Structure 1
């Protein structure tokens, strides 16, 4: 049945009608009184709709968006579309959007994030980006400066639209953008989405077809002062050397930015678990390798994104950077073979220490040789540190 699900959000009504007719004999075998309406309802339910009319209305709305680009792409040349990457830049053009495109690609879900004056903050982030992704220092600094220069113009822009999804990468981009404002500009709007009807596993906006982006456009909403103040609070908490305030926000509910708390909660799990010292990303990767045996690096990433990661937020290069300390340290948890190949084709395997830690019989932070940052929280080798208990609450591990 899963072959009928798609990933770009487009649905074909005739195909769904055909599926309902194919399903009907199976339903009649279970209940002779089953009707085509029941089969259509089952198909709608599989695709995430509460009724067949709601499925049909959704398909009609996307079809209308595709047939009436001038109606949907009602942005203007003065509009700026903001995104935390370039994944929708081309699709926006194809859908008929006319405004300019800006992005902040700084992966704030990784590396040190502290509340510093602008130039010191940029220097901290460009140094991390250069080191983590093997980018020339000057090139990294130029990119960081250009992106943050543009972001500082957000307060005075005529019309800006932020395109975000529900994960930590996007929500931290959103928080960083809003936290730099004194108050909400007159016309700053947000499009944010955590699921798309008919998409079985929604990873991100970048996977969507241009006409589905056009369908999202009328769903944008104005950012108000309450959302800006919430973002300031979240940014301060994330930059703090203690995760206590961050955890309070993560376990709360925030109507002004409704997707923020789940993203903060997932990011909190990048701190070491109290039992094993592993982040959730590390634990998911090690668990898969324990089950599957030696596996290419790229395949491990694909498995996590497709099935295991509860709120996908990593690109492939980010995943590689996060796992490198597990192979490169003095006491590795993973070995990499076929190292003459590009990293996605290198084969990862658990070491004995990796298996011991995964079993909870040792603690990774007692063996790690790299310092690691999650927001403003620094984890230094052999030092007392913050950890996360089974309730996803921060505890101090002396």
Structure 2
């Protein structure tokens, strides 16, 4: 006992947190817990295998199933080992990506009867505008925030289990209810869930918000992946929950539709969704002219 374990999301945030000079070890959690097959709470071996296959497909093989499985097993082993530390400090953003991860980690810790948990959820920082997340902070800024941590309450643990169940089951009705929850024990959850709902296909256009913003960017003259990324990032509402892997997957999905919504021209048939030697600036993304979805500009 006596050790402190810091758990956060994102390698950039984790790297800065390690340099902040705070007591304890830093562990970065990796997973896209608002999407894909899983179960509420602690995963079974089948769940981990299903998620590994999903993430391998999501990254078009950029991350292999075996590599992902190794990471997932290590993460849950780390939570089991957390029972031996004096306290756990969770550092998360207010975005959809982090909130889905936060409620899952809290749910898993609670199931293991680990309650010596403190939370820092950061939705703003002086001088940083727009604020998207912890990855924007310098190491010394983590130190400034550290005294603001609060012990996670029983009510927050219980609420986290409800939200984790919603994400695991993709329960749209429960999501709709949670998005309207006033005075939520984890106050950043309703806005994050609202953003999840915006990603579901619109009844009129069949498009989620990111897909809509992608087409708007192309119509505005953005043809390269980099320019589309910048345009969508500027148009989306902070905090940004997605990165290039997610956006390239959305573009590839638009190209794979029947009929296709976009045409990808370049050194490969589809954008690479993970580390690749294929140069992104050689791609051009164009809207298919024979397809006229009713998408607002």
Q: TM-score range by the shorter chain?
A: 0.7 to 0.9
Partner of 1:99: 24
Partner of 2:72: 144
TM-score normalised by L of structure 1 = 0.66
Range moving further from structure 2, 123-132 or 168-177 = 123-132
Partner of 1:276: 205
State the alpha-carbon separation in 2 of the partners of residues 77 and 315 from structure 1: 36
Residue of structure 2 aligned with 1:210, choices 139, 142, 147? 139
Q: Size of the alignment, in residue pairs?
A: 284
Post-superposition CA distance 1:222-270 (Å, at most 9, x none):
1011001001111112222541011101111244211111001111111
C-alpha spacing 1:173/1:254, structure 2 compared with 1 (3 Å): farther
SS of structure 1 residue aligned to 2:31: coil
* Preserved contact between residue 91 and residue 120 of structure 2 (Cα < 8 Å): yes
State the alpha-carbon separation in 1 of the partners of residues 282 and 2 from structure 2: 43
Partner of 2:244: 316
* Preserved contact between residue 189 and residue 223 of structure 1 (Cα < 8 Å): yes
State the alpha-carbon separation in 1 of the partners of residues 16 and 296 from structure 2: 45
Higher relative contact order (CA 8 A, sep 6+): 2
* Preserved contact between residue 156 and residue 185 of structure 1 (Cα < 8 Å): no
Residue of structure 1 aligned with 2:116, choices 187, 192, 208? 187
Q: State the shift of 1:207 in Å.
A: 1.0
C-alpha spacing 1:140/1:85, structure 2 compared with 1 (3 Å): same
**Structure 1 alignment gaps of length 5 or more:** 1-75, 361-398
C-alpha spacing 1:144/1:179, structure 2 compared with 1 (3 Å): same
The 5 Å alignment of 1:90-129 reads 90-115=15-40, 117-129=43-55
State the alpha-carbon separation in 1 of the partners of residues 105 and 38 from structure 2: 14
TM-score normalised by L of structure 2 = 0.87
Q: State the shift of 1:124 in Å.
A: 1.6
- Verify: 1:234 aligned to 2:163, yes or no: yes
> Pairwise CA RMSD of aligned residues?
2.4
State the alpha-carbon separation in 1 of the partners of residues 266 and 166 from structure 2: 42
Partner of 2:288: 351
C-alpha spacing 1:267/1:298, structure 2 compared with 1 (3 Å): same
State the alpha-carbon separation in 1 of the partners of residues 243 and 98 from structure 2: 12
State the alpha-carbon separation in 1 of the partners of residues 176 and 20 from structure 2: 39
* Preserved contact between residue 80 and residue 99 of structure 1 (Cα < 8 Å): yes
C-alpha spacing 1:140/1:166, structure 2 compared with 1 (3 Å): same
Q: State the shift of 1:128 in Å.
A: 0.9
Task: Please identify the structure whose Cα radius of gyration is greater.
Answer: 1
State the alpha-carbon separation in 2 of the partners of residues 353 and 219 from structure 1: 55
The 5 Å alignment of 1:143-182 reads 143-154=71-82, 157-180=85-108, 181-182=110-111
State the alpha-carbon separation in 2 of the partners of residues 141 and 162 from structure 1: 23
